[in-house]
Amino acid sequence: MREYMIEKQTGRAFQIKTGETITIIDIEGKQVADFFAVHTLDYNEFFSAGVTVECKDSLLVTKGDTLYTNLYRPMFTIVHDDVGVHDLMFPCCRTETYNHWFQNGEGHSNCFDNINQSLHEFGISPFKTLQPMNIFMNTSITPEKNVVIAPPLSNPGDKITLKAEMDAIVSISACSVSEGPCNNWTCKPVMVIIETMS
């Protein structure tokens, strides 16, 4: 078992083998973790939120569901999920995000940079856009088709576990938004545990 702490507003990348599980734990509660992954042998194949939505025919993913790559291949299966509410619509926050909404983007930590920098340690060139699975992010759509962001439903210790369906390099960022309800106005760390299934 490998255990890692991802401090608030930072990111980290890990290698994971087919059949291993990766568990993301919301230690303090109401903290989003941006999840992205790249195929170990082909960096042109990576997690796709859009393909996952299309293949599920739903914006909701939880235990038993599959996360797909941009090439429509299974990448992860959700084998445990305490919360059942995650977001597949929003891209990673970045400097431009904070400038647009809060006018404070310069020097602000963000998931776009955190994920790209952690993947760079494995020799992966930066992605120009990143559409992650925003674990524990609580979004909904109104009858008028407006998108609403509310505080996460995750409580301290809640977790989600994914089983790898291919060798991958996974990057996770503890979301940096403290300016709104995304993380309940307070950024916090998350824990990651990687295990070999018996």
pLDDT band at residue 106 under the 50/70/90 scheme:
confident
Band of residue 198 on the pLDDT scale cut at 50, 70, 90 = low
Q: How many domains, in total, are found in the chain?
A: 1
Average pLDDT of the residues in 33-43: 98
Average pLDDT over residues 23-37: 98
Q: Mean pLDDT, to the nearest integer, of 40-51? A: 98
Q: Can you point out the beta strands (E) in 82-152?
A: 133-135, 138-141, 147-150
Q: Is the confidence at residue 73, as pLDDT, over 90?
A: yes
- Is the pLDDT score of 194 beyond 80? yes
pLDDT in tens, 133-154: 999 999 999 999 999 999 999 9
| Whether pLDDT at 65 is above 90 | yes
Comparing CA positions, the residue from 99, 94, 190 lying closest to residue 137 is 190
- The predicted model scores a pTM of 0.96
Phi and psi at residue 97, in whole multiples of 5°? -60, -50
Q: Rounded CA gap, 95 and 34, in Å? A: 16
> Is 6:180 a contact under the CB 8 Å cutoff?
no
In terms of residue numbers, what domain contains 18?
2-196
d(CA 14, CA 170): 5
C-alpha to C-alpha distances, 193 to 5, 21, 72, 89, 109, nearest whole angstrom: 9, 8, 26, 26, 24
Percent of the chain with pLDDT over 90: 95
